[in-house]
Structure 1
Amino acid sequence: MKPLQNCLYITKEGAYLHKERETLVVDQRLDGKVTKLMQLPIHSVGAIFCFGQVMVSPQVMGFCGERGTSLAFFDRFGRYQARVVGQQQGNVLLRRAQFDFPEEKQLSFVKAVVAAKLQSSRAVLQRHLRNHGHSTRVDTAIRRLRQIVESLPVQKSIDSVRGFEGEGARHYFSAFDTLITAEGFEFSGRNRRPPIDAVNALLSFLYSLWGKEVSGALQGVGLDPQVGWLHAERPGRDSLAQDLLEEFRAYVIDRLVLTMINRRQIKPDDFDTAVSGAVSLTDAGRKRVLAAYQAKKLETITHPFLQESVAIGLLPHIQAMLLARHIRGDLTCYPPFCIR
Structure 2
Amino acid sequence: MSRRQGTLCFTQADHAHTNSDADSDTLSNKEPDTRTHADANDIARTTNETKTDEGNEKLFQSENRDSTDNESKNKRKRKATKTKPQYLPIENIADIYVFGSLDANSALFNFLGKRGIPLHFFDYYENYTGSFLPRDYLVAGKVQMAQAGLYSDSEKRLNLARRLISGASANIVKNLKYYGGRGRNIDNELERIETIREQFDRCTDIAQLMGREGLIRRLYYRTFERILQRSDLKFEHRSRRPPSNEVNALISFANSMVYSASLSQLYHTQLSPAISFLHEPGARRFSLALDLAEIFKPLLADRLIFSMLNRLELKARDFDRELFGCLLKKNAREKFVRAFDTRLKETIQHRTLHRSVSYRHLIRLECYKIEKHILGIEQYDPFVSWW
Contact kept in structure 2, 1:272 and 1:280, CA below 8 Å: yes
Which deviations, in whole Å up to 9, do the C-alpha atoms of 1:130-154 show, x marking residues without a partner? 1125x2xx11110011111122123
Superposition pairs of residues 280-295 of structure 1, within 5 angstroms: 280-295=327-342
Identity %: 28
Cα distance in 1 for partners of 2:333, 2:4 equals: 11
1:70 positional shift: 1.0
Find 1:323's aligned residue among 370, 381, 385.
Answer: 370
Which deviations, in whole Å up to 9, do the C-alpha atoms of 1:274-309 show, x marking residues without a partner? 122x11111111111112111211211133554542
Find 2:348's aligned residue among 301, 317, 334.
Answer: 301
Find 1:250's aligned residue among 298, 310, 314.
Answer: 298
Find 1:116's aligned residue among 150, 158, 167.
Answer: 167
1:266 positional shift: 0.9
Cα distance in 2 for partners of 1:12, 1:43 equals: 27
Change in 2 beyond 3 A, CA 1:305/1:242: farther
Cα distance in 1 for partners of 2:209, 2:254 equals: 25
More off after superposition, 192-201 vs 214-223: 214-223
Structure 2 residue 163 is the aligned partner of structure 1 residue 97: no
Find the residue that maps to 2:320 and give its secondary structure: strand
Match of 2:244 in 1: 196
1:37 positional shift: 4.1
Find the residue that maps to 1:273 and give its secondary structure: strand
Match of 1:234 in 2: 282
Find the residue that maps to 1:56 and give its secondary structure: coil
Cα distance in 2 for partners of 1:76, 1:155 equals: 40
Match of 1:155 in 2: 203
Give me the TM-score of the superposition, normalised by structure 2: 0.76
More off after superposition, 40-49 vs 256-265: 40-49
Cα distance in 2 for partners of 1:339, 1:11 equals: 39
Consecutive unaligned residues of structure 1, counting only runs of 5 or more, are 1-9, 16-28
Cα distance in 1 for partners of 2:135, 2:119 equals: 14
Consecutive unaligned residues of structure 2, counting only runs of 5 or more, are 13-74
Match of 1:43 in 2: 91
1:43 positional shift: 2.7
Match of 1:339 in 2: 385
Find 2:316's aligned residue among 253, 268, 277.
Answer: 268
Find the residue that maps to 1:329 and give its secondary structure: coil
Higher helix share: 2
Which deviations, in whole Å up to 9, do the C-alpha atoms of 1:49-94 show, x marking residues without a partner? 1101222231111122223211111113321122212222321111
Contact kept in structure 1, 2:96 and 2:118, CA below 8 Å: yes
Contact kept in structure 1, 2:350 and 2:357, CA below 8 Å: yes
Contact kept in structure 2, 1:304 and 1:338, CA below 8 Å: no
Change in 2 beyond 3 A, CA 1:302/1:106: farther
Higher strand share: 1
Cα distance in 2 for partners of 1:150, 1:208 equals: 29
Contact kept in structure 2, 1:11 and 1:50, CA below 8 Å: no
Change in 2 beyond 3 A, CA 1:52/1:168: same
Query: Which letter does structure 2 place at the counterpart of 1:93?
Result: K
Which deviations, in whole Å up to 9, do the C-alpha atoms of 1:93-148 show, x marking residues without a partner? 11111111133221111111111111111121111121125x2xx11110011111
Cα distance in 1 for partners of 2:163, 2:139 equals: 25
Superposition pairs of residues 68-217 of structure 1, within 5 angstroms: 68-88=116-136, 89-101=138-150, 102-133=153-184, 135=185, 138-217=186-265
Query: Which letter does structure 2 place at the counterpart of 1:123?
Result: K
Cα distance in 2 for partners of 1:304, 1:115 equals: 19
Cα distance in 2 for partners of 1:45, 1:327 equals: 30
Change in 2 beyond 3 A, CA 1:289/1:321: same
Find the residue that maps to 1:231 and give its secondary structure: coil
Cα distance in 2 for partners of 1:188, 1:14 equals: 34
Give me the TM-score of the superposition, normalised by structure 1: 0.86
Find the residue that maps to 1:269 and give its secondary structure: helix
Change in 2 beyond 3 A, CA 1:63/1:241: same
1:264 positional shift: 0.5
Query: Which letter does structure 1 place at the counterpart of 2:348?
Result: I
Cα distance in 1 for partners of 2:260, 2:211 equals: 25
Cα distance in 1 for partners of 2:283, 2:276 equals: 12
Change in 2 beyond 3 A, CA 1:14/1:56: farther
Cα distance in 1 for partners of 2:3, 2:231 equals: 28
Larger Rg: 2
Cα distance in 2 for partners of 1:99, 1:312 equals: 28
Query: Which letter does structure 1 place at the counterpart of 2:158?
Result: L
Contact kept in structure 2, 1:304 and 1:337, CA below 8 Å: no
Cα distance in 2 for partners of 1:293, 1:77 equals: 19
Contact kept in structure 2, 1:201 and 1:281, CA below 8 Å: yes
1:14 positional shift: 5.8
**Structure with the larger RCO, 1 or 2 (CA within 8 Å, 6+ apart):** 1
Contact kept in structure 1, 2:300 and 2:340, CA below 8 Å: no
